[in-house]
Amino acid sequence: MKQSFLLYWTSVLVLAVLSVESAPSYGCGKAVPRNFSAGQTTSMVIPSTKGQPVRHYKVHLPATFKNDKPHAVVFSFHGHNGDMAKQEDLSQFSDKGLLIGNAGIIAVYPQGKAGTDGETAWQGAPYSDPRVDDILFVKTMISTLEGMFCVDPSRIYAAGKSNGGGFVNLLACTPSIASKIAAFATVSAAFYTTTFNGNCPTNRAIPILDFHGTADKVAPYSGGRSHNGTLVAVKTFRQGWASRNGCQGKPAISHRPRASDPQELVEIQTWSKNCRAGSTVIGYKIKKGQHGWPRRTLPANCKGAKRKNDCTTTVFDATASVIIPFFNKYSL
């Protein structure tokens, strides 16, 4: 009798924990707003409030979207002087067939505000507008999306390029918002010392995926001075996160299959030994890689012309073949 009683309450507790972990957002089952449709991208606006300016972002619903099934959310932040439309084209999170948790993803492309140089920027960069609270912007987007759509709150992710990648690092170093994001990916990121929120306080292990080219002249692999600020070297960034996550030893070195990368242009550095909570830190060192988003085809914005940075190609597609599988491994 006593054993049956204990088994009963153990089962109740397990079910309670599982229900909390997998509980979908309160937008589940609601009618989808008229201006939204599956497979399409729609612009959204957050009105000015609490001294903050009007904010804009684009939301792409997957082709298979149904508002009674929980979906992961992936934020993709553009770089300095970028915009949300170009970031959608560049980062490819709106492509068909991308799945996280066996469901299509809701891809979100936020728009930065003009910084001190008049160009769009994100919080943490030396040229960003100190009056703009981009972390509050992210929190507001999350709550808005959870109220409109069937979102899996345990599967929210952040990715970004250049200044947007530096901002993703700031999100990871800010516990109040990092607690809402399961994993982070940075691409050709500008890791200014001001994107670490001091000494980068963390309340949990943070899964980190980073891509950086050795020929990046905008945010150099070795770090240095830029825009009156200091950029942390990529090696220092990766090792720092490995240390915060409690990973031990040097990274394991591997490469992509020879069939796709016969010259071994891509070196994969993985910290996974004894990392807390099963987290990992993975860095892609792309030899001769410029200040771009790794992909095998040119973004539409390049109009078929190879030039530099975003208009260059490499031997793999970061989004479909690496970022999405990485995000799939982690949930809150």
151 and 65 Cβ atoms separated by less than 8 Å: no
Q: What is the pLDDT of residue 220?
A: 98
Q: Which fold has domain 28-328?
A: Rossmann fold (3.40.50)
> Residue 219 is which amino acid?
A
Enumerate the β-bridge partners of residue 305.
none
Q: What is the pLDDT of residue 21?
A: 54
Mean pLDDT for the chain overall:
93
A 10 A CB-CB count for 316 gives 21
35 and 61 Cβ atoms separated by less than 8 Å: no
Residue 214 has pLDDT above 70, yes or no: yes
Q: What is the pLDDT of residue 16?
A: 44
Q: How far apart (Å, rounded) are the C-alpha atoms in residues 104 and 259?
A: 29
**Higher-confidence position of 28 and 15:** 28
Residue whose C-alpha is closest to residue 190's, from 256, 124, 247, 146? 124
**Higher-confidence position of 15 and 283:** 283
Is the whole model's pTM more than 0.85, yes or no?
Answer: yes
Q: How far apart (Å, rounded) are the C-alpha atoms in residues 119 and 17?
A: 46
Q: How far apart (Å, rounded) are the C-alpha atoms in residues 193 and 238?
A: 14
Q: What is the pLDDT of residue 24?
A: 87
pLDDT level of residue 260 (50, 70, 90 thresholds) = very high
Average pLDDT over residues 33-58: 96
> Which H helix or E strand runs over 152?
strand 151-161
Percent of the chain past pLDDT 90, that is, above it, reads: 92
pLDDT digits (tens, 9 = 90+) for 186-212: 999 999 999 999 999 999 999 999 999
Q: How far apart (Å, rounded) are the C-alpha atoms in residues 320 and 282?
A: 16
93 and 77 Cβ atoms separated by less than 8 Å: no
Residue 13 has pLDDT above 80, yes or no: no
51 and 136 Cβ atoms separated by less than 8 Å: no
pLDDT digits (tens, 9 = 90+) for 63-109: 999 999 999 999 999 999 999 999 999 999 999 999 999 999 999 99
Q: How far apart (Å, rounded) are the C-alpha atoms in residues 51 and 66?
A: 36
Residue 5 has pLDDT above 90, yes or no: no
Q: What is the pLDDT of residue 216?
A: 98
Enumerate the β-bridge partners of residue 88.
none
pLDDT level of residue 23 (50, 70, 90 thresholds) = confident
pLDDT level of residue 22 (50, 70, 90 thresholds) = low
Average pLDDT over residues 309-322: 97
Average pLDDT over residues 48-74: 96
Q: CA angle 6-23-183, nearest 5°?
A: 110
